[in-house]
């Protein structure tokens, strides 16, 4: 008996244990939800759904046949194979049962969000990230502002096919990693209609101070901040007292938003009157920092988080967490003691006095 | 340091009309080129104006406390605890303003030699802190009761017969000299005790601060203070007494008897006599006076900083503010549990962010010691600057009254224009004339001299002092200089900037220390002393030279504070943090630039104040 659980799962039904079937990204969204972090609602298509698609559509054999033709040292042969396979995947219809599951979940998601045919982000969520030499993170695609079930199907297939991007194929061939071992899950998530967005670190990336939360923010979608294209507003919040201890309001010239007709993302100028204004109000900055701290506590380590303030979610959940992953720069640094060990406070005091305080730089 | 040059101390000119001002102060306080060695030392040293203690120029008498700490602080550093890298703090005076400078030990061998001595001596104090501190309190209350019991007696035309019959063998003239000597001696001794623990306390605090800023580069200084600051601090007691009295007044329904600020305190007491509860309240009021009404209405450094006892309308007015709050349904208690909870949480969470056991061990060591010493750091002020000084100034006034009777002074308050050694000389003049049965010389000299000095003092006040002279050093090791005056690269830059401000009416932005977080906008009210606080309206922003525990009830009325003087540890900053109210402190000259009624925006996160013009 096949169960819908095998193919589609609400994020609420995912957790870190489900990484093998829903991938890292979807699993972490489930984790965040269980920690009561506001995450845009959505669902995951499991790796089983992907495998079923390959088998039911009858294209699995064909794909592997194409892959066999690749010569390890010939980039061009990889390119050609990639194009063929991707076309094959994207042109094969998803079988009806899978279509039903996804259709039903998409309908329910729209209902949940009070938006007919709710715009969604369709994201790849890889399962193989922890395999040796298989760091595919960022190689698979994400598609924003997808609306209507047919478009969802199209882009789910695009995610699947991204597993056969030329670079991915070449990489696996080179590393001797069997192609049939890679699997992919896809997340379908309510698109955050970001008024403001950005990133947050649960430490100060400039100083490594673990008692601080650093928040970067710009108008519109977070892409401008994530890509480092703009100079965002910056806030340093004291994690313990929840006070903003430093605030830098930058000159913000452009933002990413949605083209209302084509539903694609466009870059546009920030209206003059908003260029030098603080894009997140203090209360929301503090709320964000609190959420950051909660995520950190849940994972037990410093985190790197993408967030947005949503325009159209009903109720209180206007701050949304889009992604979170462990912070790596400071967390991986070698730990050195703050002051060398001494047998008593008096010895510290004496050493401090002898060193004195520098007055000039 | 090339970009922060301060003038050569020898080239500062006298303010026109004040020539000869030097005779108002001890001779060794002057910059001099008479000796090459002294000249070079003075030029190569960094002297900064001690505006923290002295927002105004010094009166010739009031310099007694500067002399007292010049000796007290320095001897403990240099000769008693053998602080390894630093001797004492040197002092000078320019145009009535005090300039100070820590004296570093430049010979590395000498520093090394002092280390084991410091470990033994300071170590003994840290190890026996509680016992020695208990002993200290006894010494202090002893010395205070000594001067409380000191009688200043008139000079009689004829000594009482008992002098003969008891074979006393001394006269009232001699007794007057002795009384004066004793008063001055107790003052100096009290300041010896003042420094017994203080520098060790600061040294321990500075080390904890160092650790915290290294482990948490973003940590605001206020958080460090919150982790060690005392909660049941004696300095809060006087205000607690007023809260209690206000509660009692509400309980007994005495509001109408107490009335408003148009009613004088004597009339209030008279009105309260009419009922049983009124009498009970008066008993409580009388009981609260000792010792708590010895709290100064200023910092206690100047003779004009009177205490509540000197003007009972001040505490009465504060009681009225509290009564109004209670009737309005507000809780007037300090949120003690909340403060304790927050403090516990801060310590726990900051500690939790440390990465190694080693760090946690160091944190515990340093936090433990800082916590041990901090009550002294906060409490000594009540004993010395408030209680002792309040009694002391009034004893001096009794001596001044005798000098006025003998025409040495036009009025008792003129005595502050004389130095302590001049007073001693004048008293000799007075008692010998009394003994001889002639006219003293004093009346021919002092009234005229004092009139001139008053003019000079006025001119001093009209000319703001330059923040610093001489050559800034690279490193400062003296714990006082670091904690209390916050001498850092930033503060020196800020001082240089202050000098460049010309016309105060053109300034739109002032910078100070972020004393307590938060942003607030409102109408400014400049109160130069605690007597001005009656003008404060609900929800205004208080702008004051500095605040002291006497100002406590004011914080119930206002929504923010700006001060001229003070660092992160000053009274205004501490109280504002407790009330969750923004404060910017140590602005240098907010009271000169801001006028009552101006709309200002105060940012306690950044330490900036914006003036709407």
pLDDT tens sequence across A64-110: 889 887 877 777 888 888 999 999 999 999 999 999 999 999 999 99
Lowest mean pLDDT among A308-322, B54-68, B265-279: A308-322
Nearest to B216 among A209, A349, A352 (CB): A209
Q: What is the pLDDT of residues B452-498, one digit of tens each?
A: 999 999 999 988 888 789 987 777 767 777 666 555 555 556 655 65
Cβ atoms of A255 and A267 within 8 Å: the answer is yes
Cβ contact B494:B511 at 8 Å: yes
| Interface test mutation site (partner B, options A203, A357, A361, max chain B beta carbons within 10 A) | A357
For A350, residues 6+ apart whose C-beta sits below 8 A from its C-beta are B84, B115, B118, B119, B122
Rounded to the nearest angstrom, the gap between the alpha carbon of residue A209 and the centroid of all alpha carbons in its chain is 24
CA distance B101 to chain A (A): 14
Residues of B within 8 A of A349 (CB-CB) are 122, 203-204, 207, 369
Q: Which residues of A touch B206 (CB under 8 A)?
A: 352, 357
Q: What pLDDT does residue A133 have? A: 41
Which residue of B82, B216, B474, B513 is the best one to mutate when testing the A interface, meaning the one whose CB has the most A CBs within 10 A?
Answer: B216
- The residue-averaged pLDDT of B534-550 equals 86
CB–CB contact A357 B1 (8 Å) = no
- Using CA atoms, how far residue A180 sits from A86, A163, A176, A177, B81, in Å, is 15, 11, 12, 9, 77
Beta bridge partners of B470: B46
Choice among A95-109, A121-135, A253-267, B79-93 with the minimum mean pLDDT: A121-135
CB-CB neighbors (< 8 A) of B350 in chain A: 211, 240
Q: Looking at CA atoms only, how far is residue A293 from chain B in angstroms? A: 12
Q: What percent of chain A has pLDDT over 90?
A: 53
CA distance A297 to chain B (A): 12
Helix-, strand-, coil-residue percentages of chain A, each rounded to 5: 40, 25, 35
Distance of CA A315 to the CA centre of its chain: 24
Distance between B581 CA and the closest CA of chain A, angstroms: 13
A353 to chain B: closest CA residue: B477
CATH class of A194-326: alpha beta
More confident residue, B343 or B478: B343
Report the mean per-residue pLDDT for chain A.
87
Q: Which two tokens stand for residue A194?
A: 């970001």
Angstrom distance (rounded) from CA B51 to CA B463? 14
- Lowest-confidence segment of A206-210, A214-218, B472-476 by average pLDDT: B472-476
Task: Look at A66-75, B165-174, B251-260, B430-439 and tell me which has the smallest mean pLDDT.
Answer: A66-75
Candidate from A337, A350, A359 with C-beta closest to B475? A359
> Hey, is B74 helix, strand or coil?
helix
The mean per-residue pLDDT over the stretch B586-599 comes to 86
> Would you call B362 and A211 a contact, using CB atoms and an 8 Å cutoff?
no
- Chain A residues 211-250 with CB within 8 Å of chain B: 211-212, 236, 238-241, 243-247
Cα nearest neighbour of B493 on chain A:
A360
CB contact under 8 A, A346 and B488: no
pLDDT tens-place string over residues B317-330? 989 989 999 999 99
In DSSP notation, B525-580 reads EE-SSGGGGGGPPTTPEEEES---GGGGGGGGT-SEEEESS--TTSHHHHHHHHHT
Residues from chain A that touch B473, judged by Cβ atoms under 8 A, are 359
CB atoms within 10 A of CB B146: 17
Residues B567 and B486: beta-carbon distance below 8 Å: yes
Q: Determine the pLDDT at residue A332.
A: 78
Q: Which two tokens stand for residue B65?
A: 């406390």
Q: How far apart are CA B201 and CA B163, in angstroms?
A: 50
CB proximity list for A261: less than 8 A, separation 6 or greater? none
Comparing CB atoms, the residue among B86, B220, B489 nearest residue A361 is B489
For residue range B501-525, list pLDDT tens digits in order.
556 677 788 888 888 888 899 999 9
Mean pLDDT, chain B, integer: 90
When pLDDT is cut at 50, 70 and 90, the band that residue A360 belongs to is: very low
Helical pair B129-148 and B357-381, crossing angle rounded to 10 deg: 10
Sequence-ordered list of residues with C-beta below 8 angstroms from that of B167, at least 6 positions apart, any chain: none
**Contact yes or no for A246 and B83 at CB 8 A:** no
Average pLDDT over residues B201-207: 90
Nearest to A16 by CA among A40, A35, A38: A35
Q: Using pLDDT thresholds of 50, 70 and 90, give the confidence band for residue B2.
A: very low
Contacts of B557 (CB under 8 A, 6+ apart): B321, B536, B537, B538, B539, B540
Residue of A nearest to B217 (CA): A209
Decide if A338 and B118 are in contact by the 8 Å CB cutoff. Answer: no
Q: Please give the pLDDT value at position B274.
A: 92
Fold of B504-612: Glucose Oxidase; domain 1 (3.50.30)
Domain boundaries, chain B: 234-328, 504-612
Comparing alpha-carbon positions, the chain B residue that sits nearest to A341 is B358
* Among the listed residues A218, A282, A290, the one whose alpha carbon sits nearest the alpha carbon of residue A246: A282
Give the nearest partner residue to A245 out of B119, B220, B487, using CB atoms.
Answer: B220
Q: Residue B356: which of A212, A236, A337 has the nearest Cβ?
A: A337
Contact criterion met (CB < 8 Å) for A211 and B349: yes
A246: left (phi over 0), alpha (psi -120 to 50) or beta: beta
Of A207, A354, A357, the CB nearest to B218: A207
Higher pLDDT, A322 or B482: A322
CB contact under 8 A, B122 and A338: no
pLDDT bin (cut points 50, 70, 90) of residue B230 is low
Phi, psi of A221 (to 5 degrees): -70, 160
* Residue from A208, A350, A351 to probe the interface with B (highest B Cβ count within 10 Å): A350
Listed ranges A47-51, B177-181, B590-594, B597-601; the one with the highest mean pLDDT: B177-181
Buried/exposed code over B499-536 (b: 16+ C-beta within 10 A; e: otherwise): eeeeeeeebeebbbbbbbbbbbebebbbbeebeebeeb
Q: Which of A137-141, B33-37, B491-495 has the lowest mean pLDDT?
A: A137-141
Across the A:B interface, residue pairs with CB atoms under 8 Å apart total 145
Q: Do residues A138 and A129 lie in contact, with contact meaning Cβ atoms separated by under 8 Å?
A: no
In Å, how far is A348's CA from the nearest CA of chain B? 7
The structure tokens listed for A185 are 């899950």
CA B495 – CA B524 distance, rounded (Å): 24
Give the up-direction half-sphere exposure of residue B185: CA atoms within 13 A in the CB hemisphere.
Answer: 8
The answer to whether the CB atoms of A337 and B358 lie below 8 A apart is: yes
SS3 assignment, position B86: strand
- Give A334's contacts in chain B (Cβ within 8 Å): none
> Which of A205, A209, A240, A358 to mutate to probe the B interface, most B CBs <10 Å?
A240
From chain A, the residues in CB contact with B197 under 8 A are none
Report the gap between the CA of B214 and the closest CA in chain A (Å): 6
Q: B88-110, pLDDT tens digit by residue?
A: 999 999 999 999 998 989 899 99
Q: How far is the alpha carbon of A295 from chain B, nearest alpha carbon, in Å?
A: 15
Query: Mean pLDDT over residues B551-574, rounded?
Result: 82
Rounded CA separation A295/A303 (Å):
7
Segment B354-376 shows an average pLDDT of 93
3-state helix, strand, coil in chain B (%, to 5): 60, 10, 30
Q: CA of A273 to nearest chain B CA: how many angstroms apart?
A: 21
| A25: region left, alpha or beta (phi > 0 left; psi from -120 to 50 alpha) | alpha
B570-B574-B577 Cα angle (round to 5):
140
The highest-confidence range among A74-78, B345-349, B580-584, by mean pLDDT, is: B345-349
Please tell me what DSSP assigns to residue B296: B
Tell me what pLDDT residue B504 has.
67
Q: Is the pLDDT of residue A359 over 90?
A: no
Q: Give the architecture-level CATH label for domain A4-190.
A: 2-Layer Sandwich (3.30)
């Amino acid at each position: 008996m096949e169960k819908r659980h095998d193919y589609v799962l609400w994020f609420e039904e995912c957790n870190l244990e489900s990484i093998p079937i829903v991938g890292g990204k979807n699993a972490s969204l489930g984790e965040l939800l269980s920690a009561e972090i506001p995450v845009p609602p959505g669902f995951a298509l499991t790796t089983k759904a992907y495998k079923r698609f390959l088998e039911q559509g009858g294209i699995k054999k064909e794909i592997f046949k194409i892959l066999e033709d690749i010569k390890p040292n010939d980039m061009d042969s990889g390119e050609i194979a990639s194009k063929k396979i991707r076309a094959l995947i994207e042109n094969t219809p998803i079988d009806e049962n899978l279509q039903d599951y996804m259709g039903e979940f998409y309908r329910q998601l729209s209902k949940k969000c009070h938006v007919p045919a709710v715009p969604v982000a369709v994201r790849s969520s890889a399962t193989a990230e922890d395999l040796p030499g298989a760091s595919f993170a960022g190689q698979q695609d994400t598609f924003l502002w997808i609306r209507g079930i047919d478009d969802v199907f199209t882009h789910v297939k695009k995610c699947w096919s991204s597993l056969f991007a030329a670079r991915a194929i070449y990489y696996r061939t080179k590393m001797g990693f069997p192609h049939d071992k890679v699997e992919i899950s896809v997340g379908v998530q309510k698109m955050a209609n970001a008024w403001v967005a950005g990133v947050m670190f649960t430490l100060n990336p400039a100083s490594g101070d673990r008692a601080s939360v650093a928040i970067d923010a710009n108008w519109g979608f977070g892409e401008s901040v994530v890509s480092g294209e703009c100079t965002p507003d910056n806030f340093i919040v004291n994690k313990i007292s929840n006070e903003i201890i430093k605030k830098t309001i930058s000159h913000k010239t452009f933002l990413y938003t949605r083209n209302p007709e084509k539903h694609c993302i466009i870059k546009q100028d920030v209206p003059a009157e908003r260029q030098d204004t603080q894009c997140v109000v203090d209360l929301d900055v503090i709320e964000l920092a609190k959420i950051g701290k909660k995520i950190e506590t849940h994972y037990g380590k410093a985190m790197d988080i993408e967030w947005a303030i949503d325009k159209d979610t009903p109720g209180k959940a206007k701050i949304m967490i889009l992604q979170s992953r462990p912070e790596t720069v400071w967390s991986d640094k070698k730990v050195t003691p703050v002051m060398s060990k001494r047998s008593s406070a008096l010895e510290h005091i004496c050493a401090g006095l002898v060193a004195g305080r520098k007055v000039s730089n | 340091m090339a970009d922060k040059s301060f003038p050569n101390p020898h080239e500062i000119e006298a303010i026109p009309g004040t020539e000869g001002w030097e005779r108002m102060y001890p001779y060794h306080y002057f910059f001099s080129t008479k000796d090459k060695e002294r000249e070079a030392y003075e030029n190569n040293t960094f002297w900064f104006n001690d505006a923290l203690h002295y927002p105004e120029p010094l009166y010739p008498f009031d310099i007694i406390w500067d002399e007292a700490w010049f000796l007290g602080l320095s001897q403990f550093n240099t000769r008693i605890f053998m602080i390894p890298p630093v001797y004492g703090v040197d002092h000078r005076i320019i145009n009535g303003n005090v300039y100070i400078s820590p004296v570093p030990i430049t010979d590395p061998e000498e520093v090394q030699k002092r280390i084991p001595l410091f470990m033994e001596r300071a170590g003994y104090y840290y190890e026996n802190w509680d016992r020695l501190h208990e002993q200290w309190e006894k010494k202090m209350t002893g010395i205070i009761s000594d001067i409380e019991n000191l009688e200043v007696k008139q000079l009689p035309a004829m000594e009482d017969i008992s002098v003969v019959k008891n074979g006393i063998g001394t006269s009232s003239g001699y007794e007057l000299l002795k009384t004066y000597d004793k008063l001055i001696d107790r003052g100096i001794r009290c300041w010896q005790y003042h420094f017994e623990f203080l520098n060790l306390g600061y040294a321990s605090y500075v080390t904890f601060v160092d650790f915290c800023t290294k482990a948490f580069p973003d940590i605001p200084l206020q958080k460090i203070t919150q982790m060690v600051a005392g909660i049941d601090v004696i300095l809060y007691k006087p205000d607690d007494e007023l809260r209690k009295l206000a509660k009692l007044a509400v309980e007994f329904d005495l509001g109408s008897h107490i009335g408003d600020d148009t009613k004088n305190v004597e009339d209030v007491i008279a009105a309260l006599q009419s009922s049983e509860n009124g009498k009970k309240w008066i008993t409580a009021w009388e009981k609260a006076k000792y010792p708590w009404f010895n709290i100064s209405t200023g910092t206690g450094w100047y003779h004009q900083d009177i205490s509540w006892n000197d003007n009972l309308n001040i505490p009465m007015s504060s009681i009225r503010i509290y009564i109004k709050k209670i009737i309005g349904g507000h809780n007037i208690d300090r949120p003690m549990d909340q403060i304790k909870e927050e403090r516990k949480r801060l310590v726990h969470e900051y500690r939790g962010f440390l990465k190694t056991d080693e760090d946690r061990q160091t944190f515990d060591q340093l936090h433990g010691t800082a916590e041990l010493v901090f009550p002294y750091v906060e409490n000594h002020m009540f004993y010395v600057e408030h209680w002792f000084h309040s009694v002391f100034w009034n004893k001096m006034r009794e001596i001044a009254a005798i000098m006025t009777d003998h025409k040495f002074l036009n009025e008792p308050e003129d005595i502050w224009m004389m130095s302590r050694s001049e007073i001693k000389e004048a008293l000799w003049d007075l008692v010998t004339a009394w003994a001889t049965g002639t006219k003293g010389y004093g009346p021919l000299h002092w009234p005229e001299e004092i009139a001139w000095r008053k003019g000079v003092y006025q001119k001093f006040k009209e000319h703001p002092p330059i923040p610093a002279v001489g050559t800034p050093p690279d490193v400062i090791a003296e714990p006082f200089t670091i904690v209390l005056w916050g001498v850092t690269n930033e503060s020196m830059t800020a001082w240089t900037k202050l000098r460049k401000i010309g016309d105060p009416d053109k300034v739109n932005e002032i910078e100070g220390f972020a004393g307590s977080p938060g942003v607030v906008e409102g109408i400014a009210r400049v109160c130069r002393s605690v007597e001005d606080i009656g003008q404060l309206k609900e929800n205004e922003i208080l702008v004051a030279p500095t605040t002291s525990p006497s100002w406590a009830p004011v914080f119930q009325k206002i929504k923010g504070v700006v001060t001229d003087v003070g660092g992160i540890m000053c009274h205004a900053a501490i109280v504002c943090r407790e009330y969750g109210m923004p404060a910017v402190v140590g602005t240098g000259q907010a009271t000169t630039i801001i006028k009552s009624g101006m709309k200002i925006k105060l940012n306690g996160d950044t330490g900036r104040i914006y003036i709407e013009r």
